Amino acid sequence: MCTYEIEIKLPILDRNTVKNKLIQLGFVAAEHIRECDMYYNSAYHDVKERGEALRIRKSTDLRTGKTTAQINFKGKKIDQVSMSRQEYETVVEDGESMEQILKALGFSPVAGVQKTRTYLKREEMTACLDQVDGLGDFLELEVIDKEEKFREIHLKNMSHLLAQLGLSMEDTVTTSYLGMLMGERRY
């Protein structure tokens, strides 16, 4: 199923302070996960050149030790102020087999991103406190919606939440973690 990922992200200085403020604002702590993302590209469909993303994510629940995998395709960004884009995502039973399928189809692994992520949820919004290897700490706010037409409303709600946290939309970045790690620091 196609959905729209409405997302903003910004670097933060103190994850615990932000987490405590989010909890005070009604967010509930959910998963605590170690995510290992591997991004793919091919000569016949240059994902990077098109501004898209194709990845396999392996997630390990740090409480239970259980590991799952998913494949994810993200289309081009919809605007210049957020990370919003069309997204297709599904769980795969065997991440290693999925990697081999992509390689057989001519996709090669490009680079990886590893992070420890704490999820907090309130209604339809998810807040992620990320500790990204090689980059530092970030806050991501995300809403998944079936329709792109609600993007502006979601972004306005995110802006309001940032103000409550003492942060601002001006602090957000539109470069992916992979882009930052590869030197595309546009923030």
In tens, the pLDDT along 150-173 reads 888 999 999 999 999 999 999 999
Domain-located, residue 187: no
The string of DSSP codes covering 71-102 is EEEEEEES-SSS--EEEEEEEES-HHHHHHHH
Hey, what are 26's tokens? 């009604």
Share of the chain above pLDDT 90, in %: 78
Domain-located, residue 38: yes
Domain-located, residue 42: yes
Distance (Å, rounded) from C-alpha 120 to C-alpha 72?
A: 21
Share of the chain above pLDDT 70, in %: 97
Contact 156, 6 (CB under 8 A): no
Residue 40 has pLDDT above 60, yes or no: yes
Residue (of 48, 78, 77, 83) closest to 172 by Cα position: 83
Mean pLDDT over the full length of the chain? 92
Domain-located, residue 171: yes
Contact 85, 54 (CB under 8 A): no
C-alpha Rg value of the chain to the nearest Å: 16
Domain-located, residue 80: yes
Residue 187 has pLDDT above 80, yes or no: no
pLDDT, tens digit, 9 for 90 and up, residues 97-145: 999 999 999 999 999 999 999 999 999 999 999 999 999 999 999 998 8
Give the model's pLDDT for residue 136.
95
Domain-located, residue 53: yes
pTM of the complete model beyond 0.85: yes
Hey, what are 159's tokens? 């802006």
Alpha helices (runs of H) in 25-125, residue ranges in sequence order = 95-104
Give the model's pLDDT for residue 79.
83
* Domain at 87, CATH number: 2.40.320.10
Catalytic annotation, residues: 39
Report the number of distinct structural domains present in the chain.
1
Domain-located, residue 186: no
Give the model's pLDDT for residue 186.
45
What range does the domain containing 137 cover? 2-181
- pLDDT bin (cut points 50, 70, 90) of residue 184 is low
Q: Does the CA dihedral 84-88-94-98 come out positive or negative?
A: negative
pLDDT, tens digit, 9 for 90 and up, residues 47-94: 989 989 999 999 999 999 999 999 999 999 888 888 889 999 999 999
* φ, ψ at 117 (rounded to 5°): -125, 130
